Amino acid sequence: MLSKKMQDALNKQLRAEFYSGYLYLSMSACADSLGYQGVANWLKIQSLEEFAHADKFFNYISERGGRVLLAQISEPPQQWDDIPAIFDAVLEHEQKVTSMINELFEVAIEERDHAAKIFLQWFVEEQVEEENTVGAIIDRIKLAGNHPGSMLMMDKELGQRVFTPPAE
């Protein structure tokens, strides 16, 4: 059984995961409007991944006898100047999510909820991967500089990403 404090913290993260999915859909729409369908695809896949993370939190809360409480999700930004600005915002957001996961892990430690710590370990590792992936994309964007051909090649490559649901 989840403590009230743990349940509240997990529900807060559930809402944050839904917001992340919503944010990446907004970024996808922006990238598409800028003519970067590959980047738009990468971001849409990222949104599906975030919604899958929300599903993991939803199921975990329920499995532990908690009550899932859905709350309002804030409206995400709608516009970014260019592709580098989008990915800078992605990295900033992923760093914020990492901080939130770390805080959630601290609640699990305080509540002596070992099952929650085990559950959250997956998210700790996922955030390391997320920040690394986005950092590598930003590095490549910087290398591409003002060379349209390089950005088009990168757009094509990012367009090949497919959604793979996370393991249960």
Q: What is the DSSP string of 104-138?
A: HHHHHHHTT-HHHHHHHHHHHHHHHHHHHHHHHHH
Q: What is the pLDDT of residues 5-64, one digit of tens each?
A: 999 999 999 999 999 999 999 999 999 999 999 999 999 999 999 999 999 999 999 999
pTM of the complete model: 0.95
**Which pLDDT does position 113 carry in this prediction?**
98
Instruction: Give, rounded to a whole angstrom, the gap between the first and last alpha carbons of the chain.
Output: 20
* Among candidate residues 95, 91, 101, 106, the one with its CA nearest the CA of residue 123: 101
Reply yes or no on whether the pLDDT at 168 is more than 80. no
**Which conformational region is residue 75 in: left (phi greater than 0), alpha (psi within -120 to 50 degrees), or beta?**
beta
**Was domain 4-158 assigned CATH 1.10.260.40?**
no
Burial class (CB in 10 A: 0-12, 13-18, 19+), 128: exposed
**Which pLDDT does position 7 carry in this prediction?**
98
Which residues, including other chains, have CB under 8 Å from residue 85's CB and lie 6 or more apart?
Answer: none
**Which pLDDT does position 130 carry in this prediction?**
97
- The answer to whether 74 and 15 are in contact (CB under 8 A) is no
Reply yes or no on whether the pLDDT at 146 is more than 90. no
Task: Indicate the domain borders of the chain.
Answer: 4-158
Q: What is the pLDDT of residues 81-114, one digit of tens each?
A: 999 999 999 999 999 999 999 999 999 999 999 9
Backbone angles phi, psi at 44, to 5 degrees: -65, -40
